[in-house]
Amino acid sequence: MFNPEYGTPLGTRWFRESRFENYRIYYLIYEDLQAVYMAAISGKKDQQKTINTIKLFLEFFREEVEKLVNRDDFQDEEA
């Protein structure tokens, strides 16, 4: 089971960063949708630019996750 609390929070509990080798992995936690969305991967030098870009697209990411969670074929797989 994936622990969504893993990683460093970036200003909020639901926006986090984890490091893997020389990369940073950014993900968003949607507890109400029971989903974790990997938003981006970057290197150290692009870290702030990547964080700012993710913040600009927060609404878009949420809409995409809602579409995926509400898809009929996705619901059938869970049953």
Domain that holds residue 39: 8-74
Measured distance CA(79)–CA(59) in Å, rounded? 29
Please report the pLDDT score of residue 70 as a whole number: 85
pLDDT tens, residue by residue, 55-77: 999 999 999 999 998 876 655 55
- Name 61's Cβ contacts closer than 8 Å, sequence gap at least 6: 28, 37, 39, 54
- Domain assignment present for residue 3? The answer is no
79 within a domain of the structure (yes/no):
no
Which two three-digit tokens encode residue 48? 């702030």
Residue 64, in any domain of the structure: yes
Q: Is residue 35 part of a domain?
A: yes
Q: How much is the pLDDT for 78?
A: 55
The confidence score (pLDDT) of residue 76 equals: 56
Residue 2 resides in a domain = no
Q: What is the pLDDT of residues 26-49, one digit of tens each?
A: 999 998 888 899 999 999 899 999
The answer, as to whether pTM is greater than 0.85, is no
Taking alpha carbons only, the member of 35, 1, 38 closest to residue 20 is 38
Residue 9: the pLDDT is 74
Number of domains in the chain: 1
Using N-to-C axis directions, what is the helix angle for 47-56 and 58-70, rounded to 10°? 60
* 38 beta partners: 27
